[in-house]
């Protein structure tokens, strides 16, 4: 099996713009892109090296930036993606932002205020571990905001993301689609494995009990906010290695499309004499 | 040659607290710790893996943080250190902050305001590419602040760093000590090599012309701000691989001294049933 092309990965995983979308029809265990696990690992390794190289050019240019949005239920692998896809990416020019429950200071502003503040600086790859989408996911499911306010947010988010893309930010949005059964296995691991126990949060079980509500909220958010400027990709995430390989293809694709060159410093070597 | 122990590296490179200090006596090309370049590379590789592992524990604990301060003349290798020492460190739990000339907004506050704002969050390793020491280095050499104000800053910086260490921040300060001749070679490289040309800034030549003033300012700053809670280390930096190996030893040492354990989540596996 050859490594699937970037455009093949995109076509397979994208949420269509302006069309009906059925999240349940997306198989969380789909292996069609990477049947062979070793193939996934090989692909990831190659892409990780290219990502690191292009990241350095992005950093040198300091003109544009890349924002990788990671959303998913608990255990879907947001942290694992950061560690896996960017394992070969040096921290120079990287920004990771984990969104937690908003602080009092953040709640004193509109919900996009803290998100705008965390947009990656020019020249950087920013990774959002959760994002403004929480404001139409957990906020909706748990009723933290009035339904009529939430109903307005999809268009607001689309406008915000359009603004960012028009100002040099390339957005890669990945929904890490883990299955209910697989989440159960992973939560169990978190109860037992010494280096994972700290990750277990009893509140995760409350979200698990609301699984179908969350899936409905995801379906609406993905469908309404998969735009031409910032499409959503649904990543089958029951397999960690395949998940990482697919996301790496998308990140590499975003960077390659930017045609990043080492910037022209505007001078010639002969203009200066080093003494 | 065995790999030098962490305490040996510290003893060799530390700036003594409260004693006379002669920066010129520190050989920028010193190879006594790593005579053999391959030995340096082997040591770095081992330390990088340990740093990544301990970084994950630091991140899990979210109680303390590590601040690596990198100072040095242009081309000394601040970016190279970040890319070399942390090549195997995933971006999760890392924060890199490059200090540039202060903005109008930053100049409206005291010089430590923006530095305090950039202190790594609990659980994170923060790297400062330049730092508050610029306020007693370039600011002093170029006269951007009155001498009497600068004279007060050493004690202010010591008090600030003491405050941080008392509040859970472990500080590792490295002065990347590059020689005048080696800087000349590296500036020449930046004029010619395609992937380095963007780094060349004509203003670097102005700083180079003020070399001895900068060395005097460094000597004062290192001497007066090498404290028990936050000592300075002078890293011979004419050799990139040895520089990285030495800094990696210091960073690993700082993390090991913290006795980081996976945090106790405060519950047992039997407390929960995953359905």
State the pLDDT at residue A172.
Answer: 98
Instruction: Write out the residues of chain A at the interface with chain B, using a CB-CB cutoff of 8 A.
Output: 56, 60-61, 79, 82-83, 86-96, 127, 184, 187-188, 191-192, 194-195, 197-200, 202, 205, 208, 262-265, 267, 269, 272, 274-275
List, for residues B74-133, the tens digit of each pLDDT value. 999 999 999 999 999 999 999 999 999 999 999 999 999 999 999 999 999 999 999 999
Asked if B191 and A94 come within 8 Å (Cβ–Cβ), the reply is no
State the pLDDT at residue B106.
Answer: 97
Asked if A127 and B91 come within 8 Å (Cβ–Cβ), the reply is yes
Taking CB atoms and an 8 Å cutoff, what residues of chain A touch B272?
191, 200, 202, 205
Question: Rounded to whole angstroms, what are the CA distances from B116 to B153, B167, B236?
Answer: 15, 12, 29
* ipTM metric: 0.89
Asked if B272 and A83 come within 8 Å (Cβ–Cβ), the reply is no
State the pLDDT at residue B54.
Answer: 97
Does some domain include residue B275? no
Q: How far apart are CA A242 and CA A43, in angstroms?
A: 9
Q: How far apart are CA B116 and CA B65, in angstroms?
A: 14
Asked if B262 and A94 come within 8 Å (Cβ–Cβ), the reply is no
Q: Is the pLDDT of residue B188 over 90?
A: yes
Residue with tokens 């002093």: B140
Mean pLDDT of B7-18: 96
Q: Is the pLDDT of residue B223 over 80?
A: yes
pLDDT band at B1 (very low <50, low <70, confident <90, very high): confident
Q: How far apart are CA B189 and CA A49, in angstroms?
A: 24
pLDDT band at B266 (very low <50, low <70, confident <90, very high): confident
Does some domain include residue A265? no
Give the domain extent around B182. 6-262
Listed in sequence order, the residues at least 6 apart from A216 whose beta carbon sits closer than 8 Å to its beta carbon are none
For residue B205, what is the enclosing H or E element?
Answer: helix B203-209
Does some domain include residue A273? no
C-alpha distance from A263 to closest chain B C-alpha (Å): 6
List, for residues A236-255, the tens digit of each pLDDT value. 999 999 999 999 999 999 99
Task: Give the N- to C-terminal CA distance of chain A in Å, as an integer.
Answer: 57
Q: Is the pLDDT of residue B273 over 80?
A: yes
List, for residues A152-177, the tens digit of each pLDDT value. 999 999 999 999 999 999 999 999 99
Does some domain include residue B268? no
For A55, the closest chain B residue by CA position comes to B83
Q: How far apart are CA B233 and CA B239, in angstroms?
A: 16
Pick from A56, A92, A262: which is nearest to B197 by CB? A262
Asked if A272 and B202 come within 8 Å (Cβ–Cβ), the reply is yes
pLDDT band at B252 (very low <50, low <70, confident <90, very high): very high
State the pLDDT at residue A197.
Answer: 92
List, for residues A98-117, the tens digit of each pLDDT value. 999 999 999 999 999 999 99
State the pLDDT at residue B208.
Answer: 97
Apex A59 CA angle, A57 and A65, nearest 5: 105
Asked if B91 and A91 come within 8 Å (Cβ–Cβ), the reply is yes
pLDDT band at A46 (very low <50, low <70, confident <90, very high): very high
Does some domain include residue A275? no
Mean pLDDT, chain A, integer: 96
State the pLDDT at residue B269.
Answer: 85
Range among A168-172, A203-207, B270-274 with highest mean pLDDT value: A168-172
Mean pLDDT of B127-150: 97
Alpha helices for A128-269 (secondary structure H): 138-141, 147-166, 180-192, 203-209, 211-224, 240-257
C-alpha distance from B180 to closest chain A C-alpha (Å): 10
We report the CATH number of the domain holding residue A251 as: 3.40.50.300
Pick from B60, B92, B188: which is nearest to A83 by CB? B92
Radius of gyration of chain A (CA): 19
**Chain centroid to CA B265:** 33
Q: Are the C-beta atoms of residues B29 and B179 closer than 8 Å to each other?
A: yes
Asked if B82 and A94 come within 8 Å (Cβ–Cβ), the reply is no
Task: Tell the burial category of B271 from Cβ atoms under 10 Å away from its Cβ (0-12, 13-18, 19+).
Answer: exposed
Q: Is the pLDDT of residue A1 over 90?
A: no
Pick from A82, A202, A205: which is nearest to B90 by CB? A82
Taking CB atoms and an 8 Å cutoff, what residues of chain A touch B188?
274
**How many folded domains does chain A comprise?**
1
State the pLDDT at residue A100.
Answer: 95
Does some domain include residue B114? yes
Does some domain include residue A270? no
Candidates B70, B85, B91, B129: best to mutate against A (most CBs of A within 10 A) is B91
Quote the percentage of chain A above a pLDDT of 90. Answer: 93
Does some domain include residue B270? no
List, for residues A73-96, the tens digit of each pLDDT value. 999 999 999 999 999 999 999 999
Q: How far apart are CA A249 and CA A234, in angstroms?
A: 13
Buried b (16+ CB within 10 A) or exposed e, B121-139: eebbbbbbbbbbbbbbbbb
């Amino acid at each position: 099996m050859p490594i699937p092309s970037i455009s093949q990965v995109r076509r397979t995983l994208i949420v269509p713009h302006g069309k009906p979308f059925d999240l349940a029809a997306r198989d969380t265990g789909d292996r069609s892109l990477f049947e062979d696990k070793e193939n996934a690992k090989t692909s990831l390794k190659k892409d990780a090296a290219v990502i690191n190289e292009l990241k350095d050019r992005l950093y040198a240019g300091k003109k544009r930036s890349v924002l990788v949005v990671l959303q998913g239920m608990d255990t879907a692998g947001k942290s694992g993606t950061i560690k896996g896809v960017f394992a070969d990416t040096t921290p120079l020019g990287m920004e990771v932002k984990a969104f937690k429950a908003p602080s009092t200071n953040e709640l004193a502003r509109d919900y996009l205020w803290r998100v705008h503040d965390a947009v990656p600086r020019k020249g950087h790859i920013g990774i959002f571990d959760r994002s403004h989408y929480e404001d139409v996911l957990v906020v909706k499911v748990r009723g933290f905001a009035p339904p009529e306010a939430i109903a307005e947010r999809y268009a607001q988010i689309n406008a915000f993301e359009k603004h960012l893309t028009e100002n040099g930010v390339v957005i890669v949005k990945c929904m890490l689609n883990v299955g209910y059964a697989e989440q159960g296995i992973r939560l169990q691991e978190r109860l037992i494995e010494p280096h994972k126990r700290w990750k277990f949060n009893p509140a995760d079980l409350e979200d698990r009990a609301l699984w179908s509500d969350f899936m409905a909220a995801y379906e609406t958010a993905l469908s309404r906010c998969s735009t031409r400027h910032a499409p959503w990709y649904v990543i089958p995430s029951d397999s960690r290695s395949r998940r990482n390989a697919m996301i790496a293809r998308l990140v590499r694709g975003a960077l390659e499309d930017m045609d990043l060159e080492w910037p022209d410093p505007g001078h010639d070597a002969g203009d200066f004499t080093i003494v």
